[in-house]
Amino acid sequence: MIRIAPFGKLRGIDAAGIRIRDHFRGSPENADTPVFGLGPMRVLADTQISPQTGFPMHGHRDFEIVTYVCEGMIAHEDTTGAKGTLRMGDVQAMTTGSGVMHSESNPGSDPTRVYQMWFHADEAGLTPDYTDLVSPPAAEPGAFTVYASGAAHIDGLIRIRQDAAVMGTSLQRGESILRELAPGRLAYVLAVDGPLAVNDSGVPQRGGVEIRDESAIRIAASETPTRVLLIDVAESYVSPTG
């Protein structure tokens, strides 16, 4: 089963300097709808932040949060004393665990766009921690770079505490890549920069596609070069937080 989510049909919020469009959000109004979540993933947001704006200090707990920077830069700081700046192509994985306060802002002069993914942790009350993956290695031809993974069968550059993996690659026009999907797994593919064809279904620029009950995923850059993100999650998972 393939479900296409065009960017133009995503819902979200607009605030001062911030525009969020949700592929998934596990909020009460989305209960019993396809956008409530995918396996342990409860949020997947395409977020734009204007220069010199952002999110002030706010809290999270018992989520594994993975951030991928599509454009611009994002500065972060949290109550563990950690701080840093991520730029286009960089990735951060954060264990919010027993609770952490953090801020995110765009210190640059150009707009920033990021994807943020929230996964239920596999255990409550973990020690808060984070890892910044700066300039991750480019994927080999025909392969993905796995940025973060907690799946036993998928090795990643960063370990997260959930049976999920976040990976990326770049495709030139006319190129394609094949990714097998193990039994009991679900996937979501993001067309970061340009349109894609996923198992022969068209996905518009910045759109997404949910994949269930498929043994393999063929992803092709149909018109222009584009980056691709793929999120692989277990359909059944452990989470003390539900």
Residue with tokens 């290695």: 137
- How would you classify the pairing of strands 216-221 and 185-191? unpaired
Burial class (CB in 10 A: 0-12, 13-18, 19+), 42: buried
Element spanning 87, H or E: strand 83-87
Q: Is position 240 within any domain? A: no
Given a cut of 60, is residue 60 above it in pLDDT?
yes
pLDDT tens-digit readout, 68-79 = 999 999 999 988
Residue 80 pLDDT class (50, 70, 90 cuts): confident
Residue 222 pLDDT class (50, 70, 90 cuts): confident
At 124, is the secondary structure helix, strand, or coil? coil
Which residues, including other chains, have CB under 8 Å from residue 144's CB and lie 6 or more apart? 167, 168, 169, 177, 179, 230
Question: What pLDDT does 223 receive?
Answer: 87
Given a cut of 80, is residue 94 above it in pLDDT?
yes
> Residue 74: which domain range?
2-234
- How would you classify the pairing of strands 73-78 and 83-87? antiparallel
Between the CA of residue 130 and those of 62, 92, 94, what are the distances in Å? 13, 7, 4
Given a cut of 90, is residue 17 above it in pLDDT?
yes
Given a cut of 70, is residue 100 above it in pLDDT?
yes
Residue 239 pLDDT class (50, 70, 90 cuts): confident
Q: What is the mean pLDDT of residues 30-45?
A: 95
Q: What is the mean pLDDT of residues 114-130?
A: 96
Question: What pLDDT does 242 receive?
Answer: 54
Q: Is position 113 within any domain? A: yes
Cα separation of the two ends of the chain = 25
Q: Judge whether 186 and 151 are in contact, CB under 8 Å.
A: no
Q: What is the mean pLDDT of the chain?
A: 95
Q: Is position 242 within any domain? A: no
Q: Is position 241 within any domain? A: no
63 strand-pairing partners: 120
Q: Judge whether 208 and 235 are in contact, CB under 8 Å.
A: no
Distance, in Å, from the CA atom of 101 to the CA atom of 128, rounded to the nearest integer, reads 10
Q: What is the mean pLDDT of residues 49-76?
A: 95
Distance, in Å, from the CA atom of 170 to the CA atom of 223, rounded to the nearest integer, reads 13
Residue 241 pLDDT class (50, 70, 90 cuts): low
Element spanning 49, H or E: strand 41-49
Element spanning 179, H or E: strand 176-180
Q: What is the mean pLDDT of residues 172-184?
A: 96
Distance, in Å, from the CA atom of 14 to the CA atom of 18, rounded to the nearest integer, reads 6
Distance, in Å, from the CA atom of 201 to the CA atom of 221, rounded to the nearest integer, reads 12
Domain count, the chain: 1
Given a cut of 60, is residue 181 above it in pLDDT?
yes
Q: Judge whether 227 and 169 are in contact, CB under 8 Å.
A: yes
pLDDT tens-digit readout, 20-33 = 999 999 999 999 99
Distance, in Å, from the CA atom of 185 to the CA atom of 152, rounded to the nearest integer, reads 12
**CATH number of domain containing 33:** 2.60.120.10
